[in-house]
Structure 1
Amino acid sequence: MRKRFVVWAAAFTLLLAGCAAGSDGAPQDTGTVTADPVVVRYGISNAWDALMPYNSVSGSNYARIIYDKIYDRLAYVHADGTLSPRAARSWKSVDDGYGIEFALDERFSFHDGTPVTAQNWVETFRLMTDPDCPMLGRDNFSVLAGTDENGYALSEHSVAAEAVDAYTLKLTFKNPTSPEDFLLDKNREFYVLPTHLLEGGVSADLMDLDLWKAPVGSGPCKFVSELAGSQLILEANKEYPLGTPGFDRLVITVMDKSNLLTALISGDLDYYAFGGSVSADDAQVAEQNGLTVLRGTVPNTFFELMLNGASLPDARIRRAVELALDKELLCQHSTNGLGTVTDSSIPPTSPYAGEGSAAGRDVETAKALLEEAGYDGRTYRLACTSNRAGLAALMQQNLADAGISISIETVDSATMFAGMSDGTYDMGIASHTPGPLPLWFVGTRLTENNNIFHVSDLSEYDVYIQRIQMETDPDAKQDLVQALEDYLAQERPFVPLWFGTALHAQSPTVSGIDYASSSFSNENVWEWEKQE
């Protein structure tokens, strides 16, 4: 029998008591004379879809960047893949690499003043892995011992999360896992919940609790009010251990992406997610209007040409597609010099990146491979979003030079990925936010549950992936990664194209922003300072 949750009434009114907010984040007149609050006006082009961090339908970065401010994660991930303490002040590997112990920062507390302890983290993990809990994104927990392949606990309290003492959290994994690899891969997925405000076991009604309409977290900002899908008003958590934000209110407003830079230039915004990114053309506009544009040093976008292994079953044809493409020309067209061509999904800044450079275009070899494979001249269907139609047209010309015929279909992103998944399309142009780990891409797209490239036999990939996951010696792991890269180059289930580097329009009114690290869906708002 499911138990009911009891939510303390105080939690709903704690952050709103005595403070009604207007649409600009300024308090309404309640008869008390107060100084005008220091407000940071923050723009975002897509709305969050929930304020409960384990109830996001999209699981998108637009939701994660919101959760990052209200709730806490174990660490802060920098753009270069290094880590800084956040809720955990340190971590270490235990149990021959199968476990990680996190020493939690004892200064952290929830917004109602209750200390955050290891038990809160354990209870969060138990709630989210209980089969009765209707959470989304549960498969993120499947790396933990005591769960099945979908992240469900095998039995009551079986998930391997343990409070060693009040401020030491221990996680145990199915495979050897270094703290760095775990945090780089999963840090943005895990948040500590105010489990002290919940009494009893798991309920099917968990996600519908009124608590999530006025959430209580432990992050650098406290909830004030929400206009669903439009605006979110937060206030600075003056007791945040990592630092006091240099503002009183953070007003987050959803607006069309094309209007973000205009609003920043006009002064209607102080900053926009993610990292104030701009295109090369918009960077010129920003600079002409007095803004400073910062070029990132770490790749934040990975471009690939998805291939359908069922309709292109011969590896020679897939390799011919790659050789026929002028990656340098395509990259220049898309990035205006802000990209680096690649033959790998591993970013060049990753410690696992190889030393070789991407192979150049070779149309004659592509033709020879096509003839050897018996290519019959069929026309392949290439899907892309409307903003990449020009890029697709260049690809069409490149491939035609080698004798490969394609037709272009312009669709929205969801339709393209659905069409690649069900086999409607033969090729698709896609981009992703890269991670520094060697399997960030391959390990999620060449699996039985997500075989988007329609590889007929995944067994060889399974062996490589499992061996890399199990290896703890850095040199041996590097050798295994290179062996997988060599196999990918031979089979070429997808075509790596290039890595792009972001340009950031810097805020003219807020200092201390870590622009590049926003690509990991975390922002150092406790170090932001609004200039008066």
Structure 2
Amino acid sequence: MKKRTAALLLALALALPLGGCASQPAADDTAGERVVQYGLSNAWDSLMPYNSPSGSNYSRIIYDKIYDRLAYVHADGTLTARAAQSWESVDGGYGIEFHLDPDCAFHDGTSVTAEHWAETIALLTDGACPTLGRSAFSVLTGTDESGVATGTEALGAEAVEEYTLKLTFKNPTTPEDFLLDKNREYYVLPTHLLEGVDPSEVMELDLWTAPVGSGPCVFVSEVTGSSLTLKANADYQLGAPGFDTLVITVMDKSSLLTALIAGDLDYYAFGGSVTEDNAPTAEAAGFTVSEGTTPNTFYELMLNCETVSDARIRRAVEYALDKELLCEQSTGGHGAVTGTSILPSCESYPGPGETTRNLELSMGLLEEAGYDGEVYTLACTSNRSGLAALMQQQLDEAGIATTIETVDSATLFAGMSDGVYDMAIASHTPSALPLWFVESRFSAENNIFHVDDLTPYLSDIDAIRAETDKDARAALVAELDGLLGEERPFIPLWFGTALHVESNTVTGIDYESSSFCNENVWEWEKQ
């Protein structure tokens, strides 16, 4: 116990500024110090990456800086080295070996080894550990569906050499699929500072108020829910960030652009995004506004297949919608209509599918299905009320009656889950995985579309997950997409691209990739 206490005290001493207090933010640029002022519209809810109640992107973007991840995920789905220099599939696709960068080190100077990664996973999968991030490990052998180690077989995380980590999976898994899906959930912890700690007490340690990670930034101080001060990790294996201090300040979303223009911020997450309406304001203030090339939003019309039970009516709804007009009105031309949830950048992209409005076909399907004028509820959030009104008008032109209910986001999703609404407008952040959208929505635990028989969907999803050959997988993805097009449990609307206000004071920012909750801060340079 004395050894552990001494180690924790050393970690705290290294993390805190000399003569400073952990509750005070760092000052602005002084004596030539290069300070990056960074805005965030919501606060993180924990500094321990496996103890976030929300699991939100606002927390992940913080963990990304203090802790290290295996890879860096680019907006187009490509991957480059981070904690791992390279990776390869082994054991017939059931395993992945990650060759770690031997230059990786924790902020206290301790080298990061494969043993640290394996011990991190062993700790978090221990049933006595009260983690909130364990489900990410349920894909590994030796765990149950919730990610708890069963003890009946070896845990699928082992250090095969000092700098080689091997993960073993329940199903064949390509390195690309794993990293695109789970990279933002896996962080290495300083397990050398946790020796002798009972797993049940891990989340209560003072260590997480002044964490020791191995990421590109080192913890300095925090004002809970308000600001976080970090300093550049001069020894980061990919290079030291080109600044001295990073001050992250929480402010209202509507104030981010104003603060940037006023010079109070150098940059804001995520990716300096700006609306079409506000882009001219940024440009008039001397900022460059660029459009992303990779979609960062996916819009869909959720359908309740229990109340809108005939697939012909669901298809009639799709044909009644003028997706081009809806997309133009919502994105200002920064979107592309789609008939699939699969990103165009995905290797298995089956094509955009049917996207053209066809009122005659819509009305024919309604007549064939015996639609009798039932009024459907269309739920939306307040910021999408105009979009809902336009949808309502288009549906009415085909003879489909709707009434709009405006609710908050939580109520909208809860209402769809409970079967309260017939339709709802929703948006999501897509990824380059073919199953990024459907896998979590066609399950007994989250049958949000109220599909009567999930069997054909689950069969196709399982086949895609198990297939590692690219051509064979593409064929299976096309098969699933064909089923979705025929049954239409949800209606894909469009993919949207973001507008980014580029910083005038910090160069090297990868604006688009911030949507994956990772930022290349080691390449940032404060001018």
Q: TM-score range by the shorter chain?
A: over 0.9
Matching of residues 62-461 of structure 1 within 5 Å:
62-155=58-151, 158-200=154-196, 202-461=198-457
Conserved 8 A contact 2:298-2:428: yes
C-alpha separation in 1, matches of 2:28 and 2:293: 40
CA shift for structure 1 position 36: 4.2
**In structure 1, what residue type is equivalent to 2:313?**
I
CA shift for structure 1 position 375: 1.8
Mean alpha-carbon deviation: is it higher for 97-106 or for 18-27?
18-27
C-alpha separation in 2, matches of 1:425 and 1:86: 44
SS in 1 for 2:439: helix
Note the aligned Cα RMSD (angstroms): 1.7
CA shift for structure 1 position 444: 1.0
Kindly tell me: are residues 414 and 10 of structure 1, through their superposed partners in 2, closer, same or farther at Cα, counting changes over 3 Å? same
Conserved 8 A contact 2:141-2:153: no
Conserved 8 A contact 2:123-2:199: no
1:25 aligns with 2:22: no
Report how many aligned residue pairs link the two structures. 523
Kindly tell me: are residues 502 and 49 of structure 1, through their superposed partners in 2, closer, same or farther at Cα, counting changes over 3 Å? same
Conserved 8 A contact 2:25-2:228: no
CA shift for structure 1 position 14: 1.5
Conserved 8 A contact 1:25-1:39: no
C-alpha separation in 2, matches of 1:86 and 1:465: 30
Kindly tell me: are residues 370 and 435 of structure 1, through their superposed partners in 2, closer, same or farther at Cα, counting changes over 3 Å? same
Which residue in the other structure is 2:14 paired with? Answer: 14
Conserved 8 A contact 1:80-1:298: yes
C-alpha separation in 2, matches of 1:27 and 1:348: 43
C-alpha separation in 2, matches of 1:473 and 1:195: 37
Conserved 8 A contact 2:15-2:220: yes
CA shift for structure 1 position 24: 5.7
1:527 aligns with 2:523: yes
C-alpha separation in 2, matches of 1:265 and 1:23: 26
C-alpha separation in 2, matches of 1:474 and 1:428: 34
**In structure 2, what residue type is equivalent to 1:414?**
A
SS in 2 for 1:368: helix
CA shift for structure 1 position 349: 2.0
Conserved 8 A contact 1:26-1:36: no
**In structure 1, what residue type is equivalent to 2:383?**
N
Kindly tell me: are residues 10 and 504 of structure 1, through their superposed partners in 2, closer, same or farther at Cα, counting changes over 3 Å? same
CA shift for structure 1 position 19: 4.3
Kindly provide the CA deviation profile for residues 140-166 of structure 1, in whole angstroms up to 9, marking residues without a partner as x: 111111111121111178321010011
Conserved 8 A contact 2:221-2:228: yes
CA shift for structure 1 position 405: 1.2
Matching of residues 494-505 of structure 1 within 5 Å:
494-505=490-501
Conserved 8 A contact 1:65-1:521: yes
Kindly tell me: are residues 211 and 49 of structure 1, through their superposed partners in 2, closer, same or farther at Cα, counting changes over 3 Å? same
Mean alpha-carbon deviation: is it higher for 422-431 or for 163-172?
422-431
SS in 1 for 2:480: helix
**In structure 1, what residue type is equivalent to 2:27?**
A
SS in 2 for 1:444: coil
SS in 1 for 2:278: helix
C-alpha separation in 1, matches of 2:404 and 2:201: 46
Kindly tell me: are residues 26 and 37 of structure 1, through their superposed partners in 2, closer, same or farther at Cα, counting changes over 3 Å? farther
C-alpha separation in 2, matches of 1:228 and 1:321: 47
Conserved 8 A contact 2:226-2:250: yes
Structure 2 residues not aligned, in runs of 5+: none
Conserved 8 A contact 2:106-2:212: yes
Kindly provide the CA deviation profile for residues 234-290 of structure 1, in whole angstroms up to 9, marking residues without a partner as x: 111111110111111100000111110111111010000011011111111111111
C-alpha separation in 2, matches of 1:121 and 1:109: 12
C-alpha separation in 2, matches of 1:229 and 1:59: 15
**In structure 2, what residue type is equivalent to 1:286?**
A
**In structure 2, what residue type is equivalent to 1:411?**
V
Kindly provide the CA deviation profile for residues 345-388 of structure 1, in whole angstroms up to 9, marking residues without a partner as x: 00122221123543311112111211221223121111111110
C-alpha separation in 1, matches of 2:92 and 2:270: 38
SS in 1 for 2:440: helix
Which residue in the other structure is 2:52 paired with? Answer: 56
**In structure 1, what residue type is equivalent to 2:361?**
T
Kindly tell me: are residues 424 and 355 of structure 1, through their superposed partners in 2, closer, same or farther at Cα, counting changes over 3 Å? closer
SS in 2 for 1:219: coil
Structure 1 residues not aligned, in runs of 5+: 29-33
The two structures have a TM-score, normalised by structure 1, of 0.96
C-alpha separation in 2, matches of 1:484 and 1:217: 42
CA shift for structure 1 position 481: 0.3
C-alpha separation in 1, matches of 2:198 and 2:474: 43
C-alpha separation in 1, matches of 2:102 and 2:325: 53
C-alpha separation in 2, matches of 1:465 and 1:19: 56
**In structure 2, what residue type is equivalent to 1:457?**
D
Conserved 8 A contact 1:130-1:156: no
SS in 1 for 2:149: coil
Conserved 8 A contact 1:509-1:530: yes
Kindly tell me: are residues 19 and 91 of structure 1, through their superposed partners in 2, closer, same or farther at Cα, counting changes over 3 Å? farther
SS in 2 for 1:355: coil
Which residue in the other structure is 1:31 paired with? Answer: none
